[in-house]
Structure 1
Amino acid sequence: MNPLATFADSVAAAIVLGGVAVASLVRFPPGLMIRAIGALRVLGRRAPRLDAEVEQIAALGRIARKHGAMALDRSVIDDPDIALAVRLIVDGEPPEAVEAAILRARDARIERHLAVAEVWASIAEAAPAFGLIGTIIGLVRMFTAMQDPAVIGPSMAVALLATLYGALLGNLIAQPIAGRLRRLARAEAFERERLAAPLLALARRERPRAGMAA
Protein backbone atom coordinates (compact mmCIF):
# COMPACT_ATOMS: atom_id res chain seq x y z
CA MET A 1 0.00 0.00 0.00
CA ASN A 2 1.25 3.43 -0.91
CA PRO A 3 2.03 5.23 2.39
CA LEU A 4 1.03 8.56 0.83
CA ALA A 5 -2.46 7.21 0.26
CA THR A 6 -2.96 7.48 4.02
CA PHE A 7 -2.85 11.27 3.63
CA ALA A 8 -5.36 11.40 0.78
CA ASP A 9 -8.93 12.37 1.50
CA SER A 10 -11.20 13.79 -1.17
CA VAL A 11 -13.67 15.32 1.28
CA ALA A 12 -10.98 17.26 3.16
CA ALA A 13 -9.42 18.38 -0.12
CA ALA A 14 -12.81 19.49 -1.47
CA ILE A 15 -13.51 21.55 1.67
CA VAL A 16 -10.13 23.34 1.60
CA LEU A 17 -9.68 23.80 -2.14
CA GLY A 18 -13.34 24.53 -2.81
CA GLY A 19 -13.57 26.98 0.05
CA VAL A 20 -10.42 28.81 -1.01
CA ALA A 21 -11.61 28.96 -4.63
CA VAL A 22 -15.02 30.38 -3.70
CA ALA A 23 -13.55 32.91 -1.26
CA SER A 24 -11.03 34.05 -3.87
CA LEU A 25 -13.67 34.44 -6.58
CA VAL A 26 -15.80 36.50 -4.21
CA ARG A 27 -12.87 38.74 -3.33
CA PHE A 28 -11.20 39.09 -6.75
CA PRO A 29 -12.52 39.38 -10.31
CA PRO A 30 -12.12 36.27 -12.49
CA GLY A 31 -9.67 38.03 -14.80
CA LEU A 32 -7.30 38.69 -11.92
CA MET A 33 -7.61 35.08 -10.78
CA ILE A 34 -6.61 33.90 -14.26
CA ARG A 35 -3.62 36.26 -14.21
CA ALA A 36 -2.63 34.94 -10.79
CA ILE A 37 -2.56 31.39 -12.13
CA GLY A 38 -0.67 32.53 -15.22
CA ALA A 39 1.92 34.24 -13.03
CA LEU A 40 3.14 30.82 -11.90
CA ARG A 41 5.20 30.57 -15.08
CA VAL A 42 7.48 33.44 -13.99
CA LEU A 43 8.39 31.97 -10.60
CA GLY A 44 11.51 30.28 -11.93
CA ARG A 45 12.82 33.38 -13.66
CA ARG A 46 15.60 35.50 -12.31
CA ALA A 47 14.97 39.05 -11.20
CA PRO A 48 14.63 41.17 -14.36
CA ARG A 49 17.59 43.13 -15.68
CA LEU A 50 16.97 45.90 -18.20
CA ASP A 51 20.55 46.39 -19.40
CA ALA A 52 19.50 45.74 -23.00
CA GLU A 53 16.73 48.34 -22.72
CA VAL A 54 19.13 50.93 -21.31
CA GLU A 55 21.49 50.24 -24.21
CA GLN A 56 18.63 50.62 -26.66
CA ILE A 57 17.77 54.04 -25.24
CA ALA A 58 21.39 55.07 -25.71
CA ALA A 59 21.24 53.83 -29.31
CA LEU A 60 18.01 55.74 -29.88
CA GLY A 61 19.73 58.85 -28.58
CA ARG A 62 22.51 58.42 -31.12
CA ILE A 63 19.97 57.98 -33.91
CA ALA A 64 18.12 61.11 -32.82
CA ARG A 65 21.32 63.17 -32.72
CA LYS A 66 22.26 62.06 -36.20
CA HIS A 67 18.92 61.98 -37.99
CA GLY A 68 16.49 63.86 -35.74
CA ALA A 69 13.68 62.70 -33.51
CA MET A 70 11.44 61.75 -36.42
CA ALA A 71 13.85 58.94 -37.30
CA LEU A 72 12.96 57.22 -34.02
CA ASP A 73 9.51 56.49 -35.39
CA ARG A 74 11.02 53.78 -37.59
CA SER A 75 12.78 52.00 -34.72
CA VAL A 76 11.65 48.59 -33.56
CA ILE A 77 11.06 48.80 -29.80
CA ASP A 78 9.81 45.83 -27.81
CA ASP A 79 9.57 47.42 -24.38
CA PRO A 80 6.17 49.16 -24.08
CA ASP A 81 7.41 51.91 -21.74
CA ILE A 82 10.23 52.88 -24.08
CA ALA A 83 7.88 52.70 -27.07
CA LEU A 84 5.42 55.01 -25.31
CA ALA A 85 8.12 57.54 -24.44
CA VAL A 86 9.57 57.51 -27.95
CA ARG A 87 6.14 58.02 -29.48
CA LEU A 88 5.58 61.06 -27.28
CA ILE A 89 9.04 62.43 -28.10
CA VAL A 90 8.40 62.01 -31.82
CA ASP A 91 5.07 63.80 -31.40
CA GLY A 92 6.90 66.73 -29.80
CA GLU A 93 5.40 66.38 -26.34
CA PRO A 94 7.16 68.34 -23.57
CA PRO A 95 9.56 66.47 -21.27
CA GLU A 96 7.14 66.83 -18.37
CA ALA A 97 4.47 64.91 -20.30
CA VAL A 98 6.97 62.23 -21.25
CA GLU A 99 8.09 61.83 -17.65
CA ALA A 100 4.52 61.66 -16.36
CA ALA A 101 3.61 59.02 -18.94
CA ILE A 102 6.66 56.90 -18.05
CA LEU A 103 5.84 57.06 -14.35
CA ARG A 104 2.18 56.21 -14.92
CA ALA A 105 3.08 53.22 -17.08
CA ARG A 106 5.63 51.98 -14.56
CA ASP A 107 3.29 52.39 -11.60
CA ALA A 108 0.44 50.67 -13.44
CA ARG A 109 2.65 47.70 -14.30
CA ILE A 110 3.91 47.32 -10.73
CA GLU A 111 0.36 47.64 -9.41
CA ARG A 112 -0.73 44.79 -11.69
CA HIS A 113 2.13 42.64 -10.39
CA LEU A 114 1.29 43.42 -6.78
CA ALA A 115 -2.40 42.68 -7.37
CA VAL A 116 -1.46 39.19 -8.53
CA ALA A 117 0.74 38.73 -5.46
CA GLU A 118 -2.19 39.84 -3.31
CA VAL A 119 -4.31 37.01 -4.72
CA TRP A 120 -1.76 34.45 -3.55
CA ALA A 121 -1.39 36.19 -0.19
CA SER A 122 -5.16 35.98 0.22
CA ILE A 123 -5.06 32.26 -0.58
CA ALA A 124 -2.32 31.82 2.02
CA GLU A 125 -4.53 33.58 4.56
CA ALA A 126 -7.72 31.69 3.70
CA ALA A 127 -6.35 28.15 3.39
CA PRO A 128 -5.68 27.51 7.10
CA ALA A 129 -9.11 28.96 7.94
CA PHE A 130 -10.83 26.50 5.61
CA GLY A 131 -8.64 23.76 7.02
CA LEU A 132 -10.09 24.62 10.43
CA ILE A 133 -13.59 24.58 8.97
CA GLY A 134 -12.91 21.12 7.60
CA THR A 135 -11.70 20.04 11.02
CA ILE A 136 -14.92 21.27 12.61
CA ILE A 137 -17.03 19.51 10.00
CA GLY A 138 -15.15 16.25 10.55
CA LEU A 139 -15.48 16.47 14.32
CA VAL A 140 -19.19 17.23 14.10
CA ARG A 141 -19.70 14.20 11.86
CA MET A 142 -17.73 12.09 14.29
CA PHE A 143 -19.57 13.22 17.43
CA THR A 144 -22.99 12.81 15.83
CA ALA A 145 -22.19 9.22 14.83
CA MET A 146 -20.39 7.90 17.88
CA GLN A 147 -22.63 4.85 17.82
CA ASP A 148 -21.37 3.94 14.33
CA PRO A 149 -17.67 2.93 14.35
CA ALA A 150 -17.60 2.91 10.54
CA VAL A 151 -18.15 6.68 10.49
CA ILE A 152 -15.74 7.64 13.25
CA GLY A 153 -12.54 6.81 11.32
CA PRO A 154 -13.39 8.67 8.08
CA SER A 155 -14.71 11.65 10.02
CA MET A 156 -11.55 11.89 12.07
CA ALA A 157 -9.51 11.64 8.84
CA VAL A 158 -11.43 14.59 7.40
CA ALA A 159 -10.85 16.58 10.60
CA LEU A 160 -7.10 16.00 10.67
CA LEU A 161 -6.34 16.08 6.95
CA ALA A 162 -8.31 19.28 6.37
CA THR A 163 -6.04 21.02 8.85
CA LEU A 164 -3.00 19.51 7.15
CA TYR A 165 -4.13 20.53 3.66
CA GLY A 166 -4.91 24.07 4.79
CA ALA A 167 -1.53 24.48 6.46
CA LEU A 168 0.37 23.07 3.49
CA LEU A 169 -1.53 25.12 0.91
CA GLY A 170 -1.17 28.31 2.91
CA ASN A 171 2.38 28.07 4.21
CA LEU A 172 4.18 25.81 1.76
CA ILE A 173 2.59 26.91 -1.52
CA ALA A 174 0.62 30.17 -1.55
CA GLN A 175 2.72 32.25 0.85
CA PRO A 176 6.06 31.48 -0.87
CA ILE A 177 4.47 32.24 -4.25
CA ALA A 178 3.17 35.59 -3.00
CA GLY A 179 6.58 36.45 -1.55
CA ARG A 180 8.38 35.52 -4.75
CA LEU A 181 6.01 37.60 -6.87
CA ARG A 182 6.47 40.60 -4.57
CA ARG A 183 10.25 40.31 -4.82
CA LEU A 184 10.07 40.14 -8.61
CA ALA A 185 7.76 43.18 -8.68
CA ARG A 186 10.13 45.19 -6.49
CA ALA A 187 13.10 44.17 -8.62
CA GLU A 188 11.33 45.25 -11.81
CA ALA A 189 10.30 48.55 -10.24
CA PHE A 190 13.93 49.22 -9.34
CA GLU A 191 15.11 48.30 -12.84
CA ARG A 192 12.52 50.52 -14.50
CA GLU A 193 13.83 53.45 -12.52
CA ARG A 194 16.90 53.15 -14.74
CA LEU A 195 14.84 53.84 -17.85
CA ALA A 196 13.26 57.09 -16.71
CA ALA A 197 16.38 59.28 -16.55
CA PRO A 198 17.80 58.54 -20.04
CA LEU A 199 14.36 58.77 -21.64
CA LEU A 200 13.74 62.10 -19.96
CA ALA A 201 17.17 63.33 -21.07
CA LEU A 202 16.34 62.30 -24.63
CA ALA A 203 13.01 64.13 -24.44
CA ARG A 204 14.68 67.31 -23.17
CA ARG A 205 17.35 67.21 -25.83
CA GLU A 206 14.94 66.59 -28.72
CA ARG A 207 12.15 68.94 -27.61
CA PRO A 208 13.72 72.13 -29.01
CA ARG A 209 14.50 70.38 -32.29
CA ALA A 210 10.97 69.01 -32.52
CA GLY A 211 9.59 72.48 -31.87
CA MET A 212 11.77 73.99 -34.59
CA ALA A 213 10.76 71.26 -37.05
CA ALA A 214 7.10 71.96 -36.35
Structure 2
Amino acid sequence: MDFLSVLGVIIGFAALLGGNFLEGGSWNSLANGPAAIIVVGGTFGAAILQTPFNGLRRAMSLFKWIFKPPRQKFQLGIKRVVGWARSARKEGLLGLENIAERESDAFSKKGLRLLVDGSEPDVIRHVLETDLIVAEQRDHDAVQFYESMGGYAPTIGIIGAVMGLIHVMQHLADPAELGPGIAVAFVATIYGVAFANLLLLPIANKLKSCIKEQSQFRELLIEGIIAIADGENPKAIEMKLSGYLH
Protein backbone atom coordinates (compact mmCIF):
# COMPACT_ATOMS: atom_id res chain seq x y z
CA MET A 1 0.00 0.00 0.00
CA ASP A 2 1.32 3.42 -1.01
CA PHE A 3 0.88 5.53 2.13
CA LEU A 4 1.47 8.79 0.26
CA SER A 5 -1.46 8.17 -2.10
CA VAL A 6 -3.82 7.59 0.82
CA LEU A 7 -2.42 10.59 2.67
CA GLY A 8 -2.76 12.82 -0.39
CA VAL A 9 -6.44 11.95 -0.86
CA ILE A 10 -7.18 12.51 2.82
CA ILE A 11 -5.37 15.86 3.01
CA GLY A 12 -6.93 17.13 -0.23
CA PHE A 13 -10.52 16.45 0.72
CA ALA A 14 -9.97 17.37 4.37
CA ALA A 15 -8.71 20.78 3.26
CA LEU A 16 -11.75 21.25 1.02
CA LEU A 17 -14.29 20.24 3.65
CA GLY A 18 -12.40 21.92 6.50
CA GLY A 19 -12.16 25.20 4.62
CA ASN A 20 -15.87 25.10 3.90
CA PHE A 21 -16.61 24.49 7.58
CA LEU A 22 -14.31 27.31 8.75
CA GLU A 23 -16.04 29.73 6.40
CA GLY A 24 -19.32 28.96 8.10
CA GLY A 25 -20.63 26.47 5.59
CA SER A 26 -22.29 23.24 6.59
CA TRP A 27 -21.47 19.74 5.41
CA ASN A 28 -24.90 19.53 3.77
CA SER A 29 -24.15 22.58 1.60
CA LEU A 30 -21.71 20.47 -0.46
CA ALA A 31 -23.93 17.40 -0.67
CA ASN A 32 -25.94 17.32 -3.88
CA GLY A 33 -26.89 14.06 -5.54
CA PRO A 34 -27.98 15.40 -8.94
CA ALA A 35 -24.77 17.44 -9.26
CA ALA A 36 -22.68 14.36 -8.46
CA ILE A 37 -24.55 12.31 -11.06
CA ILE A 38 -24.06 14.99 -13.72
CA VAL A 39 -20.34 15.46 -13.06
CA VAL A 40 -19.27 11.87 -12.41
CA GLY A 41 -21.53 10.29 -15.02
CA GLY A 42 -20.86 12.92 -17.67
CA THR A 43 -17.09 12.77 -17.12
CA PHE A 44 -16.93 8.99 -17.33
CA GLY A 45 -19.18 8.95 -20.37
CA ALA A 46 -17.09 11.48 -22.29
CA ALA A 47 -13.83 9.69 -21.43
CA ILE A 48 -15.20 6.28 -22.37
CA LEU A 49 -16.45 7.67 -25.68
CA GLN A 50 -12.94 8.69 -26.74
CA THR A 51 -11.13 5.60 -25.43
CA PRO A 52 -10.72 2.33 -27.39
CA PHE A 53 -11.74 -0.84 -25.58
CA ASN A 54 -8.18 -2.12 -25.13
CA GLY A 55 -7.09 1.26 -23.79
CA LEU A 56 -9.99 1.33 -21.34
CA ARG A 57 -9.21 -2.18 -20.13
CA ARG A 58 -5.55 -1.28 -19.63
CA ALA A 59 -6.54 1.93 -17.80
CA MET A 60 -8.70 -0.08 -15.39
CA SER A 61 -5.88 -2.56 -14.79
CA LEU A 62 -3.45 0.28 -14.00
CA PHE A 63 -5.78 1.77 -11.38
CA LYS A 64 -4.38 -0.51 -8.67
CA TRP A 65 -0.95 1.11 -9.17
CA ILE A 66 -2.28 4.25 -7.45
CA PHE A 67 -2.34 2.59 -4.05
CA LYS A 68 -0.12 -0.42 -4.76
CA PRO A 69 2.46 0.63 -7.38
CA PRO A 70 4.88 -1.96 -8.77
CA ARG A 71 8.18 -1.50 -6.95
CA GLN A 72 11.16 -1.85 -9.26
CA LYS A 73 14.03 -3.25 -7.20
CA PHE A 74 17.00 -1.79 -9.02
CA GLN A 75 19.59 -3.23 -6.62
CA LEU A 76 18.13 -6.71 -7.00
CA GLY A 77 17.98 -6.23 -10.76
CA ILE A 78 21.68 -5.43 -10.89
CA LYS A 79 22.46 -8.53 -8.83
CA ARG A 80 20.42 -10.66 -11.23
CA VAL A 81 22.23 -9.30 -14.27
CA VAL A 82 25.63 -9.78 -12.63
CA GLY A 83 24.62 -13.36 -11.80
CA TRP A 84 23.72 -13.94 -15.44
CA ALA A 85 27.08 -12.49 -16.49
CA ARG A 86 28.98 -14.82 -14.15
CA SER A 87 27.05 -17.84 -15.43
CA ALA A 88 27.76 -16.82 -19.03
CA ARG A 89 31.47 -16.41 -18.26
CA LYS A 90 31.71 -19.83 -16.58
CA GLU A 91 29.43 -21.91 -18.82
CA GLY A 92 29.08 -19.81 -21.97
CA LEU A 93 25.89 -18.21 -23.23
CA LEU A 94 24.23 -21.63 -23.53
CA GLY A 95 24.55 -21.87 -19.77
CA LEU A 96 21.83 -19.20 -19.53
CA GLU A 97 19.23 -21.48 -21.10
CA ASN A 98 18.10 -23.00 -17.79
CA ILE A 99 18.04 -19.56 -16.18
CA ALA A 100 15.86 -18.27 -19.03
CA GLU A 101 13.38 -21.11 -18.57
CA ARG A 102 13.03 -20.34 -14.86
CA GLU A 103 12.72 -16.57 -15.36
CA SER A 104 9.23 -15.30 -14.48
CA ASP A 105 9.59 -11.81 -15.99
CA ALA A 106 8.65 -11.98 -19.70
CA PHE A 107 10.95 -9.09 -20.66
CA SER A 108 13.99 -10.66 -18.96
CA LYS A 109 13.14 -14.09 -20.40
CA LYS A 110 13.08 -12.67 -23.92
CA GLY A 111 16.45 -10.99 -23.46
CA LEU A 112 18.02 -14.16 -22.08
CA ARG A 113 16.65 -16.25 -24.94
CA LEU A 114 18.15 -13.81 -27.43
CA LEU A 115 21.49 -14.26 -25.66
CA VAL A 116 21.21 -18.05 -25.74
CA ASP A 117 20.35 -17.94 -29.45
CA GLY A 118 23.59 -16.05 -30.09
CA SER A 119 21.95 -12.90 -31.45
CA GLU A 120 24.18 -9.92 -32.18
CA PRO A 121 24.19 -7.12 -29.57
CA ASP A 122 22.61 -4.66 -32.03
CA VAL A 123 19.81 -7.10 -32.76
CA ILE A 124 19.18 -7.71 -29.06
CA ARG A 125 19.07 -3.97 -28.36
CA HIS A 126 16.68 -3.34 -31.26
CA VAL A 127 14.27 -6.11 -30.22
CA LEU A 128 14.20 -5.21 -26.52
CA GLU A 129 14.00 -1.46 -27.08
CA THR A 130 11.08 -2.01 -29.47
CA ASP A 131 9.28 -3.99 -26.77
CA LEU A 132 10.07 -1.26 -24.23
CA ILE A 133 8.78 1.56 -26.47
CA VAL A 134 5.58 -0.30 -27.38
CA ALA A 135 4.80 -1.19 -23.75
CA GLU A 136 5.53 2.35 -22.58
CA GLN A 137 3.30 3.86 -25.30
CA ARG A 138 0.49 1.44 -24.47
CA ASP A 139 0.60 2.45 -20.81
CA HIS A 140 0.75 6.17 -21.63
CA ASP A 141 -2.28 5.76 -23.90
CA ALA A 142 -4.12 4.16 -20.97
CA VAL A 143 -3.15 7.03 -18.66
CA GLN A 144 -4.75 9.44 -21.12
CA PHE A 145 -8.11 8.04 -19.97
CA TYR A 146 -7.58 9.67 -16.56
CA GLU A 147 -6.08 12.82 -18.06
CA SER A 148 -9.07 13.25 -20.34
CA MET A 149 -11.46 12.89 -17.41
CA GLY A 150 -9.45 15.55 -15.60
CA GLY A 151 -10.01 17.83 -18.56
CA TYR A 152 -13.72 17.09 -18.97
CA ALA A 153 -14.76 17.22 -15.30
CA PRO A 154 -14.57 21.04 -14.81
CA THR A 155 -16.52 21.63 -18.03
CA ILE A 156 -19.17 19.09 -17.04
CA GLY A 157 -19.33 20.87 -13.67
CA ILE A 158 -20.08 24.15 -15.43
CA ILE A 159 -22.82 22.43 -17.43
CA GLY A 160 -24.29 21.17 -14.15
CA ALA A 161 -24.16 24.68 -12.69
CA VAL A 162 -25.95 26.15 -15.71
CA MET A 163 -28.61 23.46 -15.48
CA GLY A 164 -29.07 24.35 -11.81
CA LEU A 165 -29.36 28.05 -12.64
CA ILE A 166 -32.01 27.26 -15.25
CA HIS A 167 -33.97 25.54 -12.51
CA VAL A 168 -33.49 28.56 -10.23
CA MET A 169 -34.72 30.97 -12.90
CA GLN A 170 -37.98 29.08 -12.95
CA HIS A 171 -38.58 30.23 -9.36
CA LEU A 172 -37.91 33.95 -9.71
CA ALA A 173 -41.33 34.65 -8.29
CA ASP A 174 -40.18 33.21 -4.96
CA PRO A 175 -37.14 35.23 -3.75
CA ALA A 176 -36.73 32.98 -0.70
CA GLU A 177 -35.63 30.10 -2.94
CA LEU A 178 -33.16 32.07 -5.06
CA GLY A 179 -30.22 32.15 -2.64
CA PRO A 180 -30.22 28.45 -1.69
CA GLY A 181 -30.98 27.49 -5.29
CA ILE A 182 -27.99 29.38 -6.66
CA ALA A 183 -25.73 27.91 -3.98
CA VAL A 184 -26.80 24.39 -4.89
CA ALA A 185 -26.28 25.13 -8.59
CA PHE A 186 -22.64 26.04 -8.07
CA VAL A 187 -21.97 22.83 -6.15
CA ALA A 188 -21.66 21.10 -9.53
CA THR A 189 -18.78 23.42 -10.42
CA ILE A 190 -17.04 22.54 -7.16
CA TYR A 191 -17.51 18.84 -7.88
CA GLY A 192 -16.05 19.17 -11.36
CA VAL A 193 -12.98 21.18 -10.34
CA ALA A 194 -12.34 19.09 -7.20
CA PHE A 195 -12.85 15.79 -9.05
CA ALA A 196 -10.30 16.87 -11.66
CA ASN A 197 -7.64 18.45 -9.46
CA LEU A 198 -7.84 16.34 -6.31
CA LEU A 199 -8.26 12.94 -7.96
CA LEU A 200 -8.07 12.53 -11.73
CA LEU A 201 -5.04 14.61 -12.69
CA PRO A 202 -2.99 13.45 -9.66
CA ILE A 203 -3.91 9.85 -10.55
CA ALA A 204 -2.64 10.36 -14.11
CA ASN A 205 0.64 11.87 -12.87
CA LYS A 206 1.11 9.06 -10.34
CA LEU A 207 0.69 6.45 -13.04
CA LYS A 208 3.15 8.30 -15.29
CA SER A 209 5.79 8.14 -12.54
CA CYS A 210 5.20 4.39 -12.18
CA ILE A 211 5.55 3.90 -15.95
CA LYS A 212 8.75 5.93 -15.99
CA GLU A 213 10.28 3.87 -13.18
CA GLN A 214 9.32 0.63 -14.90
CA SER A 215 10.89 1.81 -18.17
CA GLN A 216 14.12 2.78 -16.39
CA PHE A 217 14.28 -0.69 -14.84
CA ARG A 218 13.88 -2.30 -18.25
CA GLU A 219 16.57 0.00 -19.65
CA LEU A 220 18.84 -1.36 -16.90
CA LEU A 221 18.09 -4.90 -18.04
CA ILE A 222 18.77 -4.00 -21.67
CA GLU A 223 22.15 -2.47 -20.87
CA GLY A 224 23.07 -5.45 -18.72
CA ILE A 225 22.08 -8.01 -21.34
CA ILE A 226 23.96 -6.11 -24.06
CA ALA A 227 27.04 -6.00 -21.82
CA ILE A 228 26.81 -9.78 -21.37
CA ALA A 229 26.53 -10.22 -25.13
CA ASP A 230 29.68 -8.09 -25.53
CA GLY A 231 31.51 -10.34 -23.05
CA GLU A 232 32.16 -7.65 -20.46
CA ASN A 233 33.50 -8.51 -17.02
CA PRO A 234 30.73 -9.03 -14.40
CA LYS A 235 32.38 -6.50 -12.09
CA ALA A 236 32.47 -3.91 -14.88
CA ILE A 237 28.82 -4.59 -15.64
CA GLU A 238 27.93 -4.05 -11.98
CA MET A 239 29.76 -0.70 -11.95
CA LYS A 240 28.07 0.38 -15.19
CA LEU A 241 24.58 -0.47 -13.96
CA SER A 242 25.11 1.15 -10.55
CA GLY A 243 24.31 4.47 -12.24
CA TYR A 244 20.63 3.41 -12.26
CA LEU A 245 20.48 3.33 -8.47
CA HIS A 246 18.56 6.24 -6.97
Q: TM-score range by the shorter chain?
A: 0.7 to 0.9
TM-superposed CA distance for 1:89, in Å, is 1.6
State whether residues 123 and 170 of structure 1, in contact with CA within 8 Å, keep that contact through their aligned partners in structure 2.
yes
Q: 2:136 corresponds to which residue?
A: 110
Change (3 A) 1:178 1:125: same
CA shift digits 1:142-171 (9 cap, x unpaired) = 213434679757753552111010011001
CA RMSD of aligned residues (A): 2.5
State whether structure 2 residue 41 is matched by structure 1 residue 23: no
Q: Secondary structure at the match of 1:186?
A: helix
Within the candidate set 37, 40, 44, 1:14 is matched to 37
Q: 1:198 corresponds to which residue?
A: 224
CA shift digits 1:82-122 (9 cap, x unpaired) = 11111112122222111111111211222233223222111
After TM superposition, the score normalised by the length of structure 2 is 0.73
Q: 1:163 corresponds to which residue?
A: 189
**Runs of 4+ with deviation above 4 angstroms:** 148-155
For 1:50-199, what aligned pairs fall within 5 Å after superposition?
A: 50-75=74-99, 76-147=102-173, 155-199=181-225
After TM superposition, the score normalised by the length of structure 1 is 0.83
* Identity over aligned pairs, percent: 28
Q: Identify the range of structure 1 (159-168 vs 42-51) with the bigger mean alpha-carbon deviation.
A: 42-51
Q: Identify the range of structure 1 (177-186 vs 159-168) with the bigger mean alpha-carbon deviation.
A: 177-186
Q: Identify the range of structure 1 (125-134 vs 136-145) with the bigger mean alpha-carbon deviation.
A: 136-145
Q: Secondary structure at the match of 1:92?
A: coil
Aligned residue pairs, count: 204
Amino acid of the residue matched to residue 14 of structure 1? I
Amino acid of the residue matched to residue 34 of structure 2? V
- Note the residue ranges of structure 2 that are not aligned, 5 or more in a row: 1-25, 233-246
Equivalent-residue separation in structure 1 for 2:206 and 2:93 (angstroms):
40
Q: Secondary structure at the match of 2:190?
A: helix
